Structure 1
Amino acid sequence: MTTPDPDSVLAEQLLRLTRRVHRIQKRHLERRDLGVTPAQSRLLRTLAHYGAAPRMADLAEHLEVVPRAVTTLVDGLEASGKVRRVADPTNRRVTRIELTDEGRATLRELRGARRSAAEEILAPLSQEQRTVLGGLLEALIDGELAKRC
């Protein structure tokens, strides 16, 4: 009889957790019927972190996708009134993307959906367990960031 590989068990647990988190988040988003895809949601959240309207190339780099993918996402969000293209004041060849009021309202709803999903996901944990989990997640996130630099 062989002993189970702890890393294999952990990998399976991570996969199950990832699927559960995705399912719960999707359900909370669908309840609010915001009319945005997960990729569009990510683009909206990314836009919110910029002080000034970013260029399409900036968004593509930040999202780690090809520029064409950003164009497709922006097209859909612009058609629904959540973002708008604006000319760069210093270079007319450059287009920048900014949130509209409707986009900001959608972001507030997205944040609410994410908070309620997180509450459901974390419900079984005590405050102490949540603190430990937060530290572990930060270590994993920081490890990924360190690899990129």
Structure 2
Amino acid sequence: MHSRDLPQLRPERLDDLVLAVSRRLRRRWAHGLSPWGLSPHQSRALRVVTSYGDLRLGDLAEHLRIAPRSATEVVDGLVERGLLERVADPADRRATLVRPTPEGEKVGAEVDAARGADAEALFGHLTAGERADLVRLLRKVVDTPGPGEPDGH
């Protein structure tokens, strides 16, 4: 997709361009997950759990910025696939933690590598300086709260 294919975009509207990039990333990533049969939500949850280790469902929901019920549904699918497991929380026997299985660790690493390769394919035409500038500018937008926002995330 090229900007010439999007006549409705106005070059001065950064929000239009950011949304176009976001849509493009989501489409590419949904397609890129097909070898593992994961949804984007499952992929994100697996990445969080493999990165942070044992998590309560509420903490996972917070990391993913989704409702706890939605986190439960995502985890259920990953447990059924043998990628995550539920274990008792040793600090609170009433609570449950989720953790990656060895297969979950393996699949998580494969998905992470594929995601990195896909990002390289998408952004590879940018110079190192352009990429650094883009990261710096996007980080500034993400980290700076807008009016009425409690934080920038």
Q: Which interval holds the TM-score relative to the shorter structure?
A: 0.7 to 0.9
Structure 2: gaps (5+ residues): 1-9
- Residue of structure 1 in register with 2:4 after alignment: none
Query: Corresponding residue for 2:6?
Result: none
Q: Are 2:85 and 1:81 aligned?
A: no
Q: Which residue number corresponds to residue 108 of structure 1?
A: 109
Q: Give the one of 37, 42, 58 matched to 2:44.
A: 42
Unmatched tracts of structure 1, length 5 or more: none
1:26 equivalent to 2:27? Answer no
1:88-144 Cα offsets, whole Å, 9 max, x none, are 123221111110011111111111111111111112211111111111121122125
Code of the aligned partner of 1:132 = D
Equivalent of 1:148 in 132, 147, 151: 151
Q: Contact 1:88–1:94 (CA<8 Å) still a contact in 2?
A: yes
| Correspondence for 2:20 | 16
In structure 1, distance between residues paired with 2:105 and 2:27? 25
Whether the aligned pair in 2 keeps the contact of 1:56 and 1:95 (CA below 8 Å) is yes
Q: Distance in 1 between matches of 2:30 and 2:94?
A: 38
Amino acid at match of 1:143: T
Bigger strand share: 2
The CA deviation at 1:77 is 0.5
94-103 or 114-123: which moved more? 114-123
Report the CA distance between 1:6 and its aligned residue.
Answer: 6.5
On the 8 A contact 1:25/1:113 being kept in 2, the answer is no
Q: Which has the higher contact order (CA 8 A, sep 6+)?
A: 1
1:63 aligns with 2:64: yes
Using the alignment, how far apart are the partners of 2:111 and 2:17 within structure 1? Answer: 27
Distance in 2 separating the partners of 1:115 and 1:6: 28
The code of the aligned residue for 2:135 comes to: G
Do the aligned partners of 2:85 and 2:99 also contact (CA within 8 Å) in 1? yes
Hey, which of these two has a bigger chunk of helix by percent?
A: 1
Identity %: 38
The 2-side partners of 1:92 and 1:119 are apart by: 44
